[in-house]
């Protein structure tokens, strides 16, 4: 992998972390102890602290198990992914970019966990008719977008191989 590609992937990771942490800082300063703010009937901004993973998955686990999984295993997973990404052990296509977004999002949420006693700041809620999300943040968007991109890229690759 050439240096330009590594710099681009590192920039994606660090910009994702910066955007995530910046928006969480703004949310903590402007939304904490405030009523939810509704915009355009679909977007609501509200401050929450999430002890679980995306959409509060695992929030009911015992504290020591949450720390093991969300702090320990996630840290190891992010380090392995970063090692694979920057040592050229994965392809140079879109999957590398998707992994960079996943690493950036995972690191953004991990920073919160270490700073705030295992809690992640969430502040975005979407509702359109009968469709509703849980409360999430920019890191969650990066992780989800990366996972969806990888799934699409792998599906397209599998379909091409079948031809």
pLDDT at 141 over 70: yes
Q: Is the separation of the CB atoms in 31 and 47 below 8 Å? A: yes
pLDDT in tens, 116-139: 999 999 999 999 989 999 999 999
pLDDT value of residue 163:
78
pLDDT value of residue 56:
78
The predicted model scores a pTM of 0.92
Domain ranges of the chain: 3-162
Is 140 annotated in the active site?
Answer: yes
Query: Catalytic one among 20, 71, 112, 122?
Result: 122
Structure tokens at 113: 């966990």
pLDDT in tens, 44-85: 999 999 998 877 788 889 989 998 999 999 999 999 999 999
Query: Catalytic one among 20, 95, 112, 140?
Result: 140
Report CA-CA distances (Å) from 120 to 23, 29, 140, 162: 12, 15, 10, 42
> Residue holding tokens 């993973």?
53
What 3-state DSSP class applies to 45?
Answer: strand
CA distance 38 to 30: 14
pLDDT at 1 over 70: no
CA distance 30 to 22: 12
Is 95 annotated in the active site?
Answer: no
Closest CA to 140 of 19, 25, 40: 19
């Amino acid at each position: 992998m050439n240096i330009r590609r590594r710099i681009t992937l590192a920039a994606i990771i660090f910009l994702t972390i910066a955007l995530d942490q910046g928006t969480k800082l703004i949310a903590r300063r402007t939304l904490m102890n405030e009523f939810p703010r509704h915009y355009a009937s679909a977007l609501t901004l509200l401050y929450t602290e999430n002890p679980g993973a995306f959409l509060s998955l695992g929030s009911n686990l015992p504290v020591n198990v949450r720390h093991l999984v969300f702090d320990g295993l996630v840290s190891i997973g992010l380090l392995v992914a970063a090692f694979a990404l920057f040592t050229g052990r994965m392809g140079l296509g879109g999957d590398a970019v998707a992994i960079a977004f996943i690493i950036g999002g995972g690191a953004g949420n991990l920073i919160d966990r270490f700073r705030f006693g295992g809690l992640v700041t969430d502040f975005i809620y979407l509702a359109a008719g009968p469709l509703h999300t849980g409360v999430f943040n920019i890191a969650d968007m990066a992780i989800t977008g990366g996972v969806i991109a990888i799934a699409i890229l792998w599906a397209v690759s599998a379909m091409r191989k079948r031809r």
